[in-house]
Amino acid sequence: MILVTGPTGNVGSELTRLLLAEGRKVRALVRNPEKAEALKKQGAEVALGDLDRRDTLREAVAGVEKAFLVSTMNPRMAEQELNLLSAAREAGVKHVVLLSTLGSTITQPGVKLGKLHRAGELALEASGMAWTVLRAGGFLTNFFANVASVKGQNTVYSCTGTNQYAPIDVRDIAAVAAKVLTTPGHEGKYYDLTGPELLTEAAMTQKLGAAIGKQLNVVNVPVEAAKGAMIGMGFPEWLAGSLCEFYQPGAVEQLGRVTNDVHTVLGRPAKSFDQWAKEVGPAFL
């Protein structure tokens, strides 16, 4: 039995689908009972539990051999991950795969989200269980934040300037997680997961424009304006501020790199921005 936390999220939902397609027994941990029915229809067993409450996790981890752990971005995420790890260890779970961030080792400047992810990594290493950590770069799906401005103004607003990143398709992250959970040889390893090429926001915008047949513009805005826009889209102020910390000099160097770990695990390269843009382009029209 494989436990999947966050089974309705970007990575967790795809991971659940992949594991079920392989005929694996999957137990999906959800906090909201309303989300359970769709997972049951896919063939997953559903467990109700809350990462904030360790006592609700005992049944979820009972009889589980391996677990995929991801928590939502919030100030308590390190504590939530520790709650699941403690319950898993007591239940005899053998192997935990943690989804972390490429920015977890940023020390200067300090990045709150990076530090919280690093705390989770260290807790997993010290848990006594076999472990694997997936440090993911920025998601390609983050570009969906520009749908409204592309549709209405043919414009992408960016605060990243000439900074370069190698965003990754969440389906590649899920595919790596599925491989790690179902094949041996990944214990005690960190995998840094990125897309195949470094791109500025302007380059991504140009590629999207080519995919949808439109001339798109990029307007650079201050980081504070980007933070305000995130809050306007419903992001908690703490989260918006924390995400903007990744744009600081020093953090950019850690995030702006390409790795080969997707190919190492899957035997194929990570999907490119061009591939992704052609596939999802209609959403921007």
Question: pLDDT for 79-112, tens place per residue?
Answer: 999 999 999 999 999 999 999 998 888 866 678 8
Residue with tokens 């970007």: 10
| pLDDT score at 108 | 67
Tokens of 93: 């779970």
| pLDDT tens track for 128-144 | 999 999 999 989 999 99
Q: Of 48-52, 59-63, 67-71, 233-237, which range is least confident?
A: 233-237
Domains of the chain with bracketed CATH: 2-137+168-195+258-270 (3.40.50.720)
Among 169, 145, 163, 223, smallest CA distance to 199 is for 163
The mean pLDDT of the chain is 92
Cis peptide before 109, with omega less than 30 degrees from 0?
yes
| pLDDT score at 33 | 80
Whether residue 229 is predicted with pLDDT greater than 90 in this model: the reply is: no
Q: What is the mean pLDDT of residues 149-155?
A: 94
Neighbouring residues of 133: CB distance < 8 A, sequence distance ≥ 6: 97, 98, 100, 121, 124, 189, 190, 191
Burial 142-180 (b: 16+ CB within 10 A, else e): ebeebeebbeeeeebbbbbeebbbbbbbbbbbbbbbbbb
| pLDDT score at 280 | 95
Report which residue type is found at 17: R
Residue with tokens 């997953």: 44
Rounded (10°) angle between helices 273-280 and 201-212: 40
Q: What is the mean pLDDT of residues 3-27?
A: 96
Helix (H, G, I), strand (E, B) or coil at 170: helix
Provide the β-strand partners of residue 132.
Answer: 97, 189
Q: What is the mean pLDDT of residues 54-64?
A: 93
Please compute, for residue 28, the number of CA atoms within 13 A of its CA located in the half-sphere on the CB side: 29
Helix (H, G, I), strand (E, B) or coil at 26: strand
Whether residue 19 is predicted with pLDDT greater than 90 in this model: the reply is: yes
Whether residue 76 is predicted with pLDDT greater than 70 in this model: the reply is: yes
Whether residue 225 is predicted with pLDDT greater than 90 in this model: the reply is: no
| pLDDT score at 133 | 98
Task: Please give the model's pTM, rounded to 2 decimal places.
Answer: 0.94
| pLDDT score at 37 | 85
Q: What is the mean pLDDT of residues 240-261?
A: 83
